[in-house]
Amino acid sequence: MTRKTVHLAVYDTYADWETGHATAHLVQNGFTVRTVGLTADPVTTMGGVRIQPDLALDALDPADSGLLILTGASLWETGDKLAPFAGAARTFLDAGVPVAAICGATAGLAREGLLDDRAHTSAASFYLEATGYRGGAKYVEADAVTDGDLITAGPTEPVAFAREVFARLGVYEGPKLDAWYRLFHDSDPAAYEILSA
């Protein structure tokens, strides 16, 4: 594997819609997306799609990855079953490998203490406050936030989330990054010409 491999965490109740823009355009730009489950057993997304993970979490090594993506899921709110993924995020960040978390995954990172000292966003500030974390002063009211190797976004911002992923990995830059966002977020037809140039 190379740093062109991105790992996508998958688990029961995984929020299907939150990573489609990011993963599709990463693959179209030469990246490989590999799915990671708690185990190698199949999972079922919130939309009822069955996914067979490519590998189990205990086989995941930051040295083999360019990014770990964590999505929302009902399970982030119903116990600590997904806590091992927040632990993996810590391992990635400690190794200098980026982590991108959207929706409920931000609460998992908050519980792990990973948002205490990093600028971040989520669904709402009070959503994260309910985790008992100490990072309230670092909360930013924005569609998506990048602080070094950590990307966060709220549940209604999959396009902004993808934009930050692309910027961090150098997939699109400058005018092309802006055009990609305007095309997919704002439906701006003028952006297509810039993106396809």
User: Which of these is catalytic: 22, 38, 103, 109?
Assistant: 103
CA pair distance 32, 10, nearest whole angstrom: 15
Residues contacting 68, CB < 8 A, separation 6+:
6, 7, 9, 36, 60, 62, 88, 89, 92, 97, 98, 99, 100
* CA distance linking residue 174 with residue 179, whole number of Å: 9
Q: Tokens 């490998």 sit at which residue? A: 97
Rounded to the nearest 10 degrees, the angle between the axes of helix 158-169 and helix 20-28 is 30
Rounded to an integer, what distance in angstroms lies between the CA atom of residue 51 and that of residue 54? 9
Helices 158-169 and 174-186 cross at an angle (nearest 10°) of 170
Residue 73 is classified by DSSP as B
d(CA 143, CA 139): 12
Catalytic site includes residue 66: no
Q: Which of 186, 188, 167 is nearest to 25 (CA)?
A: 167
Catalytic positions are: 103
